[in-house]
Amino acid sequence: MYTRRIFPIIGVIKWTRRQILLFLLLATVPVVLFDVLHWKWLHVPWLPLGVLGTAVAFIVSFKNNASYDRLWEARKIWGGIVNASRSWTIMVKDFITNDHAKDPLGRDELKAVQRELVHRHVAWLTALRYLLRQDKPWEMHLKSGKSNKEFRESAYINHEDAYPFDEAVKPYLSAKDFEEISAKGNKPSQILGIQSRRLRDLFQKGLIEDFRHMEMKNMLVEFYTLQGKSERIKNFPYPRQFATLNYIFVWVFILLVPFGIMEEFEVIGDRVLLELEMHNVKSSLIHQVQEFMARRFVWFSIPFSALIAWVFHTMEAIGENTENPFEGGPNDVPITDLSRGIEIDIRQLIDDTDIPEPYEWKNHIVL
């Protein structure tokens, strides 16, 4: 349990180490001016700064709640895809029969049809996750930011970047189907279109009864709906006016924090000095150390200023890195792993062979 708590903390500190050093520097400069150069006027009253910090905290909280809502909605959509995929496979397995067939098929031929429809569905899942992993202009901070880029290259594997689309989809489609979708833009939609056309062909041959054909068509409509919901989140970013202003407000607060904390720490040091003078035991080594620390107590404001700045900045960065749940970050919906899990599940339902293994996790991160 403790390991599960410590690893994320270490990861966050490593991820934000450059910002921590910057915050320490920003906190040190005002203290040097205040204590070394005796610019005692260089401070900000704590009351207005506290009001500003409260306002910034509300804004950060609003953004993080909105980002989490987008993430949770995306997870519910893919939970729907998991359930609908299993339902589709059961329909494929039980609805395609020779009961009303004009030219009955053999057992192996029926299994081949079932395998074709299930594999085409896996191709849809694969094409959909590749579509959702495509870069959008508002998602480029994940690859352009130095810390994010470094973490992305060393801490986890993004399969959509590592393996080409053609290599991932070809095993599940016929050469004709693959050629057809290659010429189109929205490949997942085209695959569902081919699936619908194939169902109509099976219906005309009597391999699917009328009512069952309608139920399977409804499942394709459900897949279109779930795909559309995923695309809605992918193609509509968190409003930039909120994100930009939130970022500016956080940095205004971060820059002002050291100027508000310095005087408060100096007051604490003066109180300690007053207590030491009342005891009047100047010959004691401990007394001399305490007196030295009290006279320089304002320097303790540096780590506390950096800590406050780090908390606000990290919370803002978490919201920034959570608002796009399909971009391929470590905190996103693991659609690659979900897709592979669905594939294994539904292919086992039809007693398929050569079922792949689940993707391996790297550094406790799964995408």
Residues making up the chain, counted from first to last: 367
According to the model, what pLDDT value does residue 364 have? Answer: 57
Helices assigned H by DSSP within 321-358: 335-349
Contacts of 138 (CB under 8 A, 6+ apart): 237, 238, 240, 324
How many domains, the chain? Answer: 1
Report yes or no on 287 lying in a domain: no
According to the model, what pLDDT value does residue 84 have? Answer: 96
Residue 356 has pLDDT above 70, yes or no: yes
CA distance 266 to 174: 76
Report yes or no on 114 lying in a domain: yes
CA distance 127 to 193: 13
According to the model, what pLDDT value does residue 187 have? Answer: 94
Burial of 223 (0-12, 13-18, 19+ CB in 10 A): buried
Q: Which pLDDT band holds residue 271 (cuts at 50, 70, 90)?
A: confident
Report yes or no on 66 lying in a domain: no
Q: Which domain, by its residues, includes 354?
A: 81-237+349-367
SS3 of residue 362 by DSSP: strand
CA distance 205 to 200: 9
Note the pLDDT tens digit of each residue in 6-45. Answer: 456 776 777 788 899 999 999 999 999 988 888 888 888 8
Instruction: Name which of 82-91, 145-154, 267-276 the model is least confident about.
Output: 145-154
Q: How confident is the model over 120-146, as a mean pLDDT? A: 83
Residue 312 has pLDDT above 60, yes or no: yes
Sign of CA dihedral 54, 60, 64, 67: positive
SS3 of residue 354 by DSSP: coil
Structure tokens at 170: 């070809």
The label of the residue with tokens 């070394």 reads 36
Q: Which residues pair with 132 in a beta bridge?
A: none
Structure tokens at 13: 């500190």
Report yes or no on 32 lying in a domain: no
Q: Which pLDDT band holds residue 363 (cuts at 50, 70, 90)?
A: low
Report yes or no on 147 lying in a domain: yes
- % helix, strand, coil for the chain, step of 5: 75, 0, 25
According to the model, what pLDDT value does residue 140 have? Answer: 66
Residue 279 has pLDDT above 90, yes or no: no
Note the pLDDT tens digit of each residue in 203-255. Answer: 999 999 999 999 999 999 999 999 999 999 999 888 877 888 888 999 999 99
Note the pLDDT tens digit of each residue in 149-206. Answer: 665 555 566 777 778 889 989 999 999 999 999 888 899 999 999 999 999 999 999 9
Tell me the CA distances in angstroms from 165 to 129, 137, 168, 188, 266, one per residue in order: 10, 21, 5, 12, 62
According to the model, what pLDDT value does residue 340 have? Answer: 92
Report yes or no on 190 lying in a domain: yes
Q: How confident is the model over 345-356, as a mean pLDDT? A: 90
CA distance 60 to 58: 6
Using alpha carbons only, give the angle 262, 304, 252 rounded to the nearest 5 degrees. 75
CA distance 349 to 82: 14
Report yes or no on 152 lying in a domain: yes
Note the pLDDT tens digit of each residue in 37-83. Answer: 888 888 888 888 989 999 999 999 998 999 899 999 999 999 999 99
Sign of CA dihedral 309, 317, 253, 61: negative
Tell me the CA distances in angstroms from 266 to 82, 256, 261, one per residue in order: 60, 17, 9
According to the model, what pLDDT value does residue 267 have? Answer: 82
CA distance 247 to 316: 7
pTM value is 0.84
Q: Look up residue 358 and give its DSSP letter.
A: P
Q: Which residues pair with 59 in a beta bridge?
A: none
Note the pLDDT tens digit of each residue in 326-350. Answer: 888 777 888 988 999 999 999 999 9
Q: Which pLDDT band holds residue 91 (cuts at 50, 70, 90)?
A: very high
Q: Which pLDDT band holds residue 359 (cuts at 50, 70, 90)?
A: confident
Report yes or no on 183 lying in a domain: yes
According to the model, what pLDDT value does residue 200 have? Answer: 95
Which residue type occupies 204? Q
Task: Check: CB of residue 200 under 8 Å from CB of residue 214.
Answer: no
Task: Check: CB of residue 343 under 8 Å from CB of residue 125.
Answer: yes
According to the model, what pLDDT value does residue 136 have? Answer: 83
Which residue type occupies 11? G
